[in-house]
A and B are shown apart, each in its own frame.
Chain A
Amino acid sequence: MSELTRADVAHLAGLARIDLSDAELDKMVGELGIILESVATVQNAPIADVEPMSHPMPLVNVTRADVVRASLTPEQALAGAPEQDQQRFSVPRILDAE
């Protein structure tokens, strides 16, 4: 596995909207590198004769009829919101996005 670089971590932090200082970036490169290495040991599992699998249960087509069910009330929906305004969730402005 190729080495995790500082630029990789900065890119991921950008995607996750996390602002990291230079010191934090350096720290994360080291810590994430160790985590990736540890997880990579799973690649040693003997899988030559195992089909790739995304779902453990052999099920398909689990669907429901197109029938309306009760929603939450707006009060219930907003109960956990740190901030709200005009019956809407109030969120920080996202910089450099659309």
Chain B
Amino acid sequence: MSSSDQQPAPTRLAMPELLIGIGLLACAAAVAWQTLAIPVSPLYSKVGPTVFPYITMTGMIVLSLLLILAAVRGGWQPQEEKETPTDLKAMGIVVAGLVANLVLIQPLGFTAASVIMFVLVCYGFGSRHTLRDALTGLILALAAYFGFARALGVNIGAGFIENQLNTVIDAIITTLRG
């Protein structure tokens, strides 16, 4: 099962793992860049703000080199994981749901954005009852919104739907109180 250490020399370069290693090296470079950008403070402190970042950076460089080495020697992923094809379409739809939530939450409000995300994620996971999912999402989001807004006075991002419903609720309260 294990690919790298078990057999003496299956030295096939593992591309995905190599990319991970290189990515981490790039992260270490970003850490180095940001560490150099930390203003050197004339404040009295025996150990300054850059000491721990440098230690971390060094650690990351060493670790990413070790990972790259492991990748060149065949990688570390279990065979089973390697052979499973990634369902890019399903993942793409789920990611689209997340992005939609991020982009829409400010202009449309929490509920609308959540419903769109809910429907897309369900679709990505293979559900084809889009209307039912939309309704489930709506109920869930509204419950969360009003739970916060009415019980704790915290506004978690109101938009069109919330405003309309608040108007209705206020009207009901008004009539009830006579």
B partners with A: no
Chain A residues near B (Cβ < 8 Å): none
Chain B residues near A (Cβ < 8 Å): none
